[in-house]
Structure 1
Amino acid sequence: MSEERPNRRRGSIAFLVLLWLLTQAVTILRQPLLDDVDSTHSEAAREMLLRHDFVTLYVDGVRYLDKPPLPYWLAAGSMAIFGQHDWAIRIPLALAMLVLILYVYRIGARLYGERAGFYAGCAMATAIGPFVYTRFFIPDVMLALWITVAFDMTLRMTEESERGRRASVAHAAVFALVCTAAVLTKGLIGVVFPLALLVGFLLFTGRLRLLLRMHPALGTLLFLVTAVPWHWLAVVQNAASGESKGFFWFYFINDQVNRYLNTRIPRDYDKVPLLLFYGLLFVWVLPWGVFLWHAAAERVRGWRAGNHNLRTPGVLLAWWTVLIVGFFTFSTRQEYYTLPAIPALALLTGAALARRDGEQRRQWAYSALAVSGVLLGVLCLAVAAVSHPPAHEELWQTLQKHPEDYALSFGHLFDFTESAFGFFRLPLLLMGVSLLVPTVAAWWLKRNGRSYAANVALALGMCAVLCTIHVGLEYFYPILGSKPLALALEKELRPGDRIVIDGQYSNNGGVNFYTHQPVWMLNGRTDTLWYGSLYADAPNRFETTTSLLAAWKSPQRVFFITHSAVRTDRWLALFGGKRIVENGGKFVLLNHD
């Protein structure tokens, strides 16, 4: 038995690493940067490396004071090792995801048994949300990792303190360092969430006195020693200058307090409706979220049977979920703000699945997945069969733009029209098969008492689904990214040339990253570069129509990037020049050779 368990653990870890390879490692090599936050954050990391300034972030030479530095330190370190490539930017996120998967597995195995940990790791590796939101460079998966470690330390310190002795110094130190890492990853909520997780759990279960046994003074001191230096240096290095109020006002007051209150300046984001926000959490944990009903039902049955024990890991996992979702219920909300709750849901799912291993009754969850997989799979196959790309048109010509929705991370989905699906026949065919076959196979295996095989089939099937989503994103990339434009521009650029983006930086930020050249924005002083441009030493990266026309008529060569065919034709007719590149509905104009 002792030999069987290590072999089982090694087999589980090997399979979870395989899932990570199929979903994360393979895809990072085929994924150019998207415009908007992806290219903005990537350029901040690139300029950090070039400037050797690890305190203040810069984008296009302008201060970018919105974000804490840890994700950018990691990305800059990756580029220092592997070179200034888009895939190098992805490596820290992919590795964070691997650590998170294995950490969830280990916690689940310790709390509920090896099989539960394995199922929890499968859920973490193949849930939709974590995959989708590692397609671009945002730090929420890293935050999920830090909160997962904080959960583990909370349980360990509580268990130790209940035995009448003080908690381990090592565990208290790890908790404090995790708070630092979370603050340097996501700002003030990085310390709010771990502390609320610990204090709230102790308060709710009537054990707040145990906090005194968890080395609070040592933890506080360690947190301050590790978290304060960067903040202090950032305040000193970015004092009020020109029209700016300095780092402290923008980073703490405007970007965190005012964002929570929905009064941030500039308001370059949108607020997801509350019911959609809740519903998306269920979507992000699909297909595994359907099994959460089992966990909830078991808790209700236990409560009715007189088991009112609240001092359990399951209660802390529930509090973890409620804390994340509840916090953002009363603030600004993006679709991905619930991601830090997904490890908790994965652990609850793993425990519920493990308790039902071998059962052949009450298989409605697998039946529901099979029915949904068949219906959606057949729908995808049918759409692929009847859809054909319009003759003599490109994808961008079939879309209906809704720029008012682009502040949402999935705003471009509203652009789809019936004719646009014709360009996605292959992804639709792959998605149809990926949905239909694994869900039916999982149902059949579970029905025959092969629970482990059923869940393995579901995990592998989700790898196919997620890779198909990635393929679809590649098909859609010309709409969302600027790498083809940048590569074409590189062949044309000469020293002294100027690149001008029509609108704000996020419209074509990838051009800045891939060409390694500064860009100017026409009437684009509206996004997060606005505040950095107020500093007295900020380079002038913003053009007005008057200044651009003056440059257009000068001997300097000017490349103008716009997203409108009508505007392109009108500009060339009025001011001259020529169109040199076109891709995905984006046009590059040149004033003269």
Structure 2
Amino acid sequence: MGDSTLPGNNPRKPALISSPATAWTLLLLVFLAVHFAALFSPSLLDDADATHANGAAHMATSGDWVTLYVNGVRYLEKPPLPYWMVAIDYRIFGYNVFATHLPETLGVLACALLAWLWARRAYGERAAFYAALAMLTCFGAFLWTRFFIPESILTFFIGLALYCFLTGLDDRRPARIYGMYASLAIAVLAKGLIAPVFFLAAVIPYLWITGEWRKWRQLRLLTGLILFFAIAAPWHILAGIRNPDHGNPVGNVPTPGHVHGFFYFYFINEHVLRFLGKRYPHDYNKQPFWVFWLGQLVWLFPWSLYFPVALKRAWRNRRLAWADVRYNASDTLHFLDARSSAHEAAGMAARVRFRARTGLLLAIYAVFILVFFAISTNQEYYTWPAYLPVLILTAGALGAVEEAPEAGRWLNAKSKWLTGAHAAFAIVGIAAAIALCSGLWASRHLPYVSDIGTRLAHRGVGDYSLASSHFFDLTGPSFAALRLPAALAAITLLIGPLVAWILRKRGHSFESTVSVAFTAAVFLIAAHIAFVRFEPMLSSRALADTINRLSAPSDQLILYGDQADGSSVIFYTHRQALLVDGRSSSMIWGSCYPDAPHIFLDDNDLLSMWGKGPRKFLFVPGEHYAHVESLLAGRLVKLQELYPNTLYTDRPL
């Protein structure tokens, strides 16, 4: 029947999971310390974070809940749900970083709750606790909610759709099936057509393998699809009507007055051509194959330590698990303890089947996502939806192994597969602590520098088009600005993994696993402190504050280059910016509509208006610094420099 340790069979529970209330008290404390406390800093970052925030801010102020606008220009590439949520936040909490990042942070908590519910039914209390704790402490879930992207929201709603699908069929509950359609429709509004692609890629093979396709009538296809389209279609239709084709667009490259409308841009350019690597403009990157796969171990760390155990257990159980996928309770009662009542035996059989089918469905789902983005163009956070199934499966395997009897088992809580993983973690922790201490020692005589950008190497990994590019810019001198978080991380990595290894060796398996999670939680707190130290480099909030302090309402804001490079200036000044050489990236398509604002300038326009009319504030990214200094030589008044950006005005104050 797969595994002799069935959900709920172990009568001895650790105190921390003795009841759902006790377990969730601890889980909520972890959430508050790691995720909620990080909502208030740093300020919004340039690039995607503040760009998306500007779209939500326009919704909140204009009342247009259909078409996104960024800096007054149509921004058609994203579905609306995350922006609706943030726009509502702005009306409640004001225009700030807390309101911007609250929905995605709550998305992490929702994923943890879903992981707990699913793992509890499939694997038992211990695995449920581990699954929720893993969602709250894995590195990727924390890193990729530091800026405004909808991945945690998408992950929750696709996961909820899959859970409703599985339990709806198992329990024959039509309400769950309709919940599946509604959840999937909401996922479409969160991230687009990727949601039904991922869902169907998991469900169709599952139905074929298990033979559940014979229950197709229970899926309520007609009424379910009506519900799905009733939720997902209205916005898409309205967006298409309000953003039609203009002129006679030819090919995939828009020109002023000639541009494909929403339907082509959103469905073809942003979905099909992005997958094929032919999207216009080509302002994205693709990780090398080996980096992509190695990255998954990092983003799911420290729980990736248990992958060998989970894979070993799955391989050893593969034949029995396959039998469990297809069996029914009446066929397998003879495997059960004869002393059990018929009711208990049937319940146990149902749990075994649900466990096996959970494993099959989630494995197909996770593998498809990982392979899909290994082939497609990708960013590090694109595989976020795979975190949920991988962590549930890992928690289920780990819980079953820890609860297995010590005698007569090939894999139990004292197995070398577990003690070896902890020994490896201890070695990595000691090595990382030594590296951090080395950096602290090398910078011991250097003064603290608030502008950490002046101490970085600027290696330009991936041409800074990857979300983690700046991680590779760290240098020894940069530790002068990172002393507190580096010291906290070093102590944590030196002590935590060693304690977990000792506990594992002594047979305290639950305490050992929780120690690993707490080590990760404290490390993530240290990482957030370090992240805040990078604010002067990643956010232009300080330059925006200078403009707000010195400007009059009639003064003009000018950005040199792409608006994304100074998007936080636009957000915090609440001004529309003129863009010099800025018809690029996300601005191209919207700028070609006939009603686009006249905000796109060239060098000659800048020269002719500089020093005339209202005062000008010019934001210049580092890559354009030398050109602007040459172009406006002798006519620039430097107000503030915050690496890599500089703020000028066109006349003395």
State the TM-score, normalizing by the size of structure 2: 0.86
Q: For 2:47 and 2:204, how far apart are their aligned partners in 1?
A: 37
Which position in structure 2 is the counterpart of 1:498? 556
Conserved? CA contact 2:559–2:620, under 8 Å: yes
Displacement of 1:390 in angstroms is 5.4
Q: For 1:227 and 1:579, how far apart are their aligned partners in 2?
A: 50
Q: For 2:464 and 2:321, how far apart are their aligned partners in 1?
A: 50
Which position in structure 1 is the counterpart of 2:360? 315
Which position in structure 1 is the counterpart of 2:506? 448
Q: For 1:392 and 1:63, how far apart are their aligned partners in 2?
A: 43
Conserved? CA contact 2:17–2:126, under 8 Å: no
Confirm whether residue 372 of structure 1 aligns to residue 428 of structure 2. Answer: yes
Q: For 2:83 and 2:227, how far apart are their aligned partners in 1?
A: 23
Alignment-mate amino acid for residue 287 of structure 1? P
Confirm whether residue 100 of structure 1 aligns to residue 111 of structure 2. Answer: yes
Q: Which ranges in structure 2 are unaligned for 5 or more consecutive residues?
A: 1-10, 247-256, 327-355, 404-412
Conserved? CA contact 2:259–2:589, under 8 Å: yes
Pick from 164, 168, 174: which aligns with 1:153? Answer: 164
Which position in structure 2 is the counterpart of 1:177? 182
Which position in structure 2 is the counterpart of 1:189? 194
Pick from 524, 531, 541: which aligns with 1:466? Answer: 524
Deviation string 1:48-83 (CA, Å, 9 cap, x unpaired) is 111100000010111100100000000111111111
Q: For 2:110 and 2:504, how far apart are their aligned partners in 1?
A: 30
Pick from 385, 395, 420: which aligns with 1:340? Answer: 385
SS of 1:579's equivalent in the other structure is strand
Alignment-mate amino acid for residue 292 of structure 1? F
Conserved? CA contact 1:389–1:423, under 8 Å: no
Which position in structure 1 is the counterpart of 2:644? 585
Structure 1 stretches of 4+ with a deviation exceeding 6 A read: 1-6
Deviation string 1:388-415 (CA, Å, 9 cap, x unpaired) is 4757975323334355621111122333
Aligned-residue RMSD, C-alpha: 2.3
Q: Which ranges in structure 1 are unaligned for 5 or more consecutive residues?
A: 161-166
Which position in structure 2 is the counterpart of 1:282? 297
Alignment-mate amino acid for residue 111 of structure 1? A
Q: For 1:356 and 1:122, how far apart are their aligned partners in 2?
A: 17
Pick from 286, 302, 313: which aligns with 1:271? Answer: 286
Displacement of 1:168 in angstroms is 2.0
Q: For 2:610 and 2:263, how far apart are their aligned partners in 1?
A: 39
Which position in structure 1 is the counterpart of 2:334? none
1:111-510 superposed matches below 5 A? 111-160=122-171, 167-241=172-246, 242-303=257-318, 308-311=323-326, 312=356, 313-357=358-402, 359-362=413-416, 363-388=419-444, 394-402=451-459, 405-510=463-568
Deviation string 1:435-462 (CA, Å, 9 cap, x unpaired) is 1211111111122221222222222221
Q: For 2:108 and 2:578, how far apart are their aligned partners in 1?
A: 35
**For residues 442 and 5 of structure 1, do their structure 2 counterparts lie closer, same or farther at Cα, with a shift above 3 Å needed?**
closer
Q: For 2:29 and 2:456, how far apart are their aligned partners in 1?
A: 37
Conserved? CA contact 1:357–1:452, under 8 Å: yes
Q: For 1:571 and 1:219, how far apart are their aligned partners in 2?
A: 63
Alignment-mate amino acid for residue 42 of structure 1? A
Q: For 1:180 and 1:93, how far apart are their aligned partners in 2?
A: 18
Which position in structure 2 is the counterpart of 1:163? none
Q: For 2:52 and 2:216, how far apart are their aligned partners in 1?
A: 38
Q: For 1:112 and 1:288, how far apart are their aligned partners in 2?
A: 17
Conserved? CA contact 2:485–2:526, under 8 Å: yes
SS of 1:73's equivalent in the other structure is helix
**For residues 572 and 253 of structure 1, do their structure 2 counterparts lie closer, same or farther at Cα, with a shift above 3 Å needed?**
closer
Displacement of 1:585 in angstroms is 3.0
Conserved? CA contact 1:572–1:578, under 8 Å: no
Alignment-mate amino acid for residue 586 of structure 2? T
Conserved? CA contact 1:36–1:509, under 8 Å: yes
Alignment-mate amino acid for residue 217 of structure 2? L
Q: For 1:534 and 1:400, how far apart are their aligned partners in 2?
A: 38
Greater alpha carbon shift after TM alignment, 219-228 vs 554-563: 554-563
Which position in structure 2 is the counterpart of 1:521? 579
**For residues 341 and 397 of structure 1, do their structure 2 counterparts lie closer, same or farther at Cα, with a shift above 3 Å needed?**
same
Displacement of 1:531 in angstroms is 0.6
Alignment-mate amino acid for residue 415 of structure 2? R
Conserved? CA contact 1:389–1:421, under 8 Å: no
Conserved? CA contact 2:607–2:632, under 8 Å: no
**For residues 389 and 524 of structure 1, do their structure 2 counterparts lie closer, same or farther at Cα, with a shift above 3 Å needed?**
farther
Which position in structure 2 is the counterpart of 1:62? 73
Alignment-mate amino acid for residue 144 of structure 1? T
Greater alpha carbon shift after TM alignment, 139-148 vs 381-390: 381-390
SS of 1:336's equivalent in the other structure is helix
Q: For 2:19 and 2:210, how far apart are their aligned partners in 1?
A: 35
Q: For 2:401 and 2:514, how far apart are their aligned partners in 1?
A: 15
Conserved? CA contact 1:105–1:117, under 8 Å: yes
Displacement of 1:427 in angstroms is 2.2
Deviation string 1:201-255 (CA, Å, 9 cap, x unpaired) is 1123333222332111121111111111100000001112332211111111111
SS of 1:581's equivalent in the other structure is strand
State the TM-score, normalizing by the size of structure 1: 0.94
Count matched residues.
Answer: 587
Displacement of 1:431 in angstroms is 1.3
Conserved? CA contact 2:157–2:186, under 8 Å: yes
Displacement of 1:558 in angstroms is 0.9
Conserved? CA contact 1:235–1:246, under 8 Å: yes
Displacement of 1:314 in angstroms is 1.3
